[in-house]
Structure 1
Amino acid sequence: MRRERLKSVEKLKRVSSEDDITPALTEEMQRLAALSSTPILQFELHQFEDLFSQKLDKYTSWRKYIEEEKEAQVELLDTIREANQAFLMARSNHPLLQQREKALSNLETAIKRFREASFNLHDGARFYATLEAELQKLKEGCLDFAMARHLDALDLMGVGHGEIPSDISQLPEPSSAPPLPQRQQPPNLVWDPSMPLKYATPK
């Protein structure tokens, strides 16, 4: 219908552009002047009504065409509304549509869960990265403290530090340090009669 209308509009434009009533109007004025009994002529619009009606008759078919197009469009719109209403009713009761809506709902829920999981994953990664840095600082502090206490223990035992290794695990254990010299106990000076006499060897 739209294509047919465009063709009709183009045709009507051509007809109207070629429609010039100037020659017919001049001829009608000459005819009226010949019928007039006075040399002074005064034309009135009603004198040309027959000419205008005659020239406008060619557009009667176009007016009829427009009215027919209006009626056809109203009928077409009513048909489209009925078909659309039937289509909506069929969609609301069709099992495939319900499955489609359920699938779309599940997909939307899955996307929402994925975004939540992705956010939590990135947030957790940032948290554990910060925690790892803090634990590394704590570890280094513990190693420094343990090394300081180990050196204090070596100092208390009178053991030289020597060259301190960079790794505290390589330091000697305090128990492995050589023992301090013990004082010798004085000999027993009580005489035992059962023991034979022993004389000191002269120096």
Structure 2
Amino acid sequence: MIRAVIFDVGETLTRDDRYWASWADWLGTPQHTMSALVGAVVAQGHDNAAALQLIRPGIDVTAEYAAREAAGRGEHLDETDLYDDVRPALAELRRLGLRVVVAGNQTARAGELLRDLHLPADLVVTSDEWGVAKPDPGFFRKAVDAGQAAPEETVYVGDHPANDILPAATSGLRTAHLRRGPWGHLWADTPEVTEVADWRIDTLTDLPSLVTL
């Protein structure tokens, strides 16, 4: 029986449009160039931050984050950044008695912004706040603790095979792969997903009926 559902953030709950557009504007490059480079590094299997390195070789991403915040051009999230199925799906899971946790690879500032959205979740936390990031097994140990259920009673939901599905499964969690965003679409039919994920979904509203069977 599933007792807890834990959600990735970027391209699972939130759209990354604003995130990458803001980086393009900060680095002085057209937004379509940024989008194309993100797609290219995804196809090559690299971390998305590699796109920033292509635009500005040697960039210190941490320093640039700080500079953006100091300039009043830091991270921002509001209701328009959420996918339409997020609130209905999370609310239904909680109505069914499951513990709902939001935990992804984000900054502490993103954690504050997410909590300000008052999602129907029992806990919202980020890798920065935990001090460990996916795909490190330590992240998933903390995720299991946050879910307050055994690993086999916990589902991790995400779009990224290498960051979400494989390491969560290796840590003993059940997994749901979401076909959403560049990673979710590009890698949806690869063995890393088809042979590992317990469920493959196109919308979060598919989850309640699946995990309560």
Give TM-score scaled by structure 2 length.
0.19
Q: Which has the higher contact order (CA 8 A, sep 6+)?
A: 2
Structure (1 or 2) with the greater strand fraction = 2
Structure (1 or 2) with the greater helix fraction = 1
Point out the structure with max Rg over C-alpha.
Answer: 1
Give TM-score scaled by structure 1 length.
0.20
